[in-house]
A and B are shown apart, each in its own frame.
Chain A
Amino acid sequence: MSAQLLTYLFVGASFTLYIGIAIWSRSSSTKEFYVAGGHVSPMANGAATAADWMSAASFLSMAGIIAFEGADGARYLMGWTGGYVLLALLLAPYLRKFSKFTVPDFVGDRYYSQTARLVAVVCVIFISFTYVAGQMRGVGIVFSRFLEVDINTGVVIGMGIVFFYAVLGGMKGITYTQVAQYCVLIFAYLVPAIYISIALTGNPLPMLGLGSEMADGSGVYLLDRLDGLTTELGMAAFTAGNKSTIDMVFITAALMAGTAGLPHVIVRFFTVPRVRDARISAGYALVFIALLYTTAPAVAAFARINIINNVDGMIYEDAPSWFSKWEDSGLIAWRDKNEDGVVQYRGGNALQPAKPAFTGERGASGERLLGNSFTASENELYIDRDIIVLAHPEIAQLPNWVIALVAAGGLAAALSTAAGLLLVISTAVSHDLMKKTFKPGITDRQELLFARIAAAVAIGIAGLFGIYPPGFVAEVVAFAFGLAAASFFPVLLLGIFYKRMNKEAAITGMITGLVFTFSYIAYFKFVNPADNNPDHWWFGISPEGIGTLGMLANFVVSLVVCRFTPPPPAEVQALVESIRVPG
C-alpha cells in the first residue's frame, strides 16, 4: 500500500478511537468537566500528563533542533524534564491537598484577593492562547504534508475532533483521550528510532545506540564519527556547545520553572484522588516523558549522520523523492553555487537571508530557483529544522507504514496538548470569571453550560490562529515558559512554603515578573530586533532565558514588600498549615 493510503488509514483509525472514548466519557457535572471527578488513577494521569505536556514542538521540532545544534539542545532536554522534579517536590502534592479546580482558585484563596485572582486569570489565558496557536498550526502542517489536503482544511478537521471530545467530555473526555494519544505518539516516535538505531549501530535501544559503535565494522563510536563528519565539512562539532554557560543556565532554569508553573500541567494533578497519588503520578508522568526525551537526542544524531551521508555529494538530478517533495513544500532549498549539479552540504548558512525565497522558476538541474543572494560559504543547502522527525523515516528508507505512523503520532501530540490548553482557558472563563467573580449565583448546570460555551469559543479562536497565524506566534510560544516562570512559579512556591506571604507581595511580585520579562522579550523581538545578540543582552542572557531573571526579581520584590505590609489573616495561615499535611 502507498504511504498516503496508509496515512489515511492510521489517522482515520486513531481519530475514531478518540471519538469513541469521548462518547464513552461524557461529563455531567462541573467536577467531572474540570477535574474528571477527581478519581483518575495515578498511572493514567501520568500518561495523560505526558501527552498533555508533549506538544507538536516536542514531537516534531525538538529532535530537529538538536540535530542542528548538537550539545546546545541540552537546554530543552533538561529544562523540559527537570521541571517535573520541582513540580513533584514543591507544588503538585500541596495543590492537590488544596483541592480546588484551577490555578487562579489557589491564587485567589491563598492571597484572599479578587485582584490576585484576576491577574492570575489574565496570565492563564495569555499563556494558554499563545501556546495553543502553535498546536493548531502543527495539525495543519501534518495534514498538508501527509494527506495532501490544504493546511486550512487540516486545521478545521483538527478543530472538529478537539471540539467533539473537549466540549462533550471536558477534563474527563480529555484525560482518557490523552492516555490513548500518549500510546499513539510514543509508539510513533519509538518505532522509527528503533529501526534506525539497529541499522546504524545494531543496538535496538536508541538511547544506548547513541553511545555505541557504528555497525559498519569500523569500531568507531557513533558520536565520534558524527563529530568527525561535522568538523570535516566545516560545521561545529556535534558534541561541542556554542552558547555561553550563563545563557544555558538561565534558559534551562526558565524552562524548568516555567514547566512547573504552566497551568495546564498543574491542573492535571487535581484529577487524582489523594496527595500521595499526586506525588507518584508526577513520577509516572516523567517516566513516560523521559521515554521520548532520552530518544530525541539519539534521533537527532542519527538524522544528522543520515543527512550528511545521503545528501552531501549527491547529484541533484538523482535526488530521492523525499528531497524534491520537501523542496516543493519550500522546506529544503538548494543553490548550485559552483554549477556542478552536485549538492555540497557544508558549515554556515547557504543563503542570505537564511530563509529561502523562491522565484517560481526552475534552474539547470531542475531545482527551484531562489531570489536570495548567497553567502561566501561553500554550503549550497538550506534544510528547515522542523522536517527532521517527519522526513527522517523516508531518508532512512523505512517501510511505508512507519512513515504513516509518524503522521498519526504528530497529530496525537498536537491535539492532546491543544485540548488540555483549551480546557484551562474554558475553566478560567466559566469558573474564575463567571462563578467566582461576575455571577456567583449560577447553578452547577449553568456553570457547566458556560464551560462548554467557553470551550467552543476558545476552539474557534485557536482555529483562527491556526489558519491566520499571527507572525509572532512562533516567537512567542517559547516565551510562554519565561512568563510562567516569572509569574506563577514564585507565587505558588511562596504561597506554600512561606506562611507570612501576603496579597500585597503576591500582586506586586507577579506584576514585576511579568512586566520585566515581557518588556525584555518585546524589546529584543519586536522593538529592536537588530540588537538581539549577546553584545546587547543584560549579562549575556538571551530573551529565551530572561524568565529566570524575572523570576528572581519576583522573589526579591515579594519578600521585600512582604516585610512592610500586614501578615495574612489567621484563616489563610491555617489554610497553609493544612495543605502541608496530607491526611
Chain B
Amino acid sequence: MSEKNNHAYWQANLRLMLVLLVIWFSVSFLAGIIFVDFLNQFRLFGYKLGFWFSQQGSIYFFVVLIFVYTWRMNVLDKKFGVEEE
C-alpha cells in the first residue's frame, strides 16, 4: 500500500481515538470524580447520578467504547484496504 494511503488511514484512526478518549475521560474523571457531587443532586432510579457514574455507568461506557472502536476500525481497515487475510 502507498505511503499516502497509510498516512490517511493513520489520521482517521487518530481522529476516531480522540473522540472515544474524550468520552472515556468524561464518563470517568468528569462525571465519576470531578463533578460527582454536582451530579449527585439528580437521580437515576435508586442511584444518585454521580454515584451511578462512578460505580456502574462508567464501566458500561468503557465496554461500549471498545466495541465501537473495534467496529469502526474494521470499517476503516476495509476502506483503506489494509485489512488482514
Q: Which residues of A contact B85 (CB under 8 A)?
A: 274, 583
- In the complex, how many angstroms separate the beta carbon of B4 from the nearest chain A beta carbon? 12
User: Contacts A210-B46, A222-B46; is A283 near B63 (CB within 8 Å)?
Assistant: yes
Q: Which residues of B contact A88 (CB under 8 A)?
A: 66, 69-70
Q: Which residues of B contact A297 (CB under 8 A)?
A: 55-56
List the A residue with the shortest CB-CB distance to B24: A85
Q: Which residues of B contact A211 (CB under 8 A)?
A: 44-47, 52, 56
Whole-angstrom distance between the alpha carbons of A77 and B13 in the complex? Answer: 28
Q: Say whether B77 contacts A74, CB under 8 Å.
A: no
Whole-angstrom distance between the alpha carbons of A287 and B62 in the complex? Answer: 9
User: Contacts A580-B10, A581-B6; is A279 near B52 (CB within 8 Å)?
Assistant: no
Q: Which one of A73, A212, A279, A583 contacts B73 once the chains associate, using CB atoms below 8 Å? A: A279
Q: Which residues of A contact B69 (CB under 8 A)?
A: 88-89, 279
Q: Say whether A212 contacts B17, CB under 8 Å.
A: no
Q: Which one of A85, A90, A252 contacts B62 once the chains associate, using CB atoms below 8 Å? A: A85
List the B residue with the shortest CB-CB distance to A300: B55
- In the complex, how many angstroms separate the beta carbon of A180 from the nearest chain B beta carbon? 23
Q: Does A276 contact B (CB under 8 A)?
A: yes
Whole-angstrom distance between the alpha carbons of A582 and B9 in the complex? Answer: 11
Tell me the interface secondary structure of chain A in the complex: helix
Q: Which one of B48, B51, B56, B70 contacts A279 once the chains associate, using CB atoms below 8 Å? A: B70
Q: Say whether B10 contacts A210, CB under 8 Å.
A: no
The winner among B33, B40, B85 for most chain A CB atoms within 10 A is B33
Instruction: Provide the A219-261 mask, 1 if CB < 8 A to any CB of B, else 0.
Output: 0011110000000000000010100010011001100000000
Chain A contact residues, CB within 8 Å of chain B: 66, 71, 73-74, 77-78, 81-82, 84-85, 88-90, 93, 207, 210-213, 221-224, 239, 241, 245, 248-249, 252-253, 274-276, 279-280, 282-283, 286-287, 290, 293-294, 297, 577, 580-583
Chain B contact residues, CB within 8 Å of chain A: 1, 6, 9-10, 13, 17, 20-21, 24, 28-29, 32-34, 36, 40, 44-48, 51-52, 54-56, 58-60, 62-63, 65-67, 69-70, 73-74, 77, 81-85
8 closest A-B pairs by CB: A221-B46, A74-B54, A211-B46, A283-B66, A297-B55, A583-B82, A211-B45, A279-B70
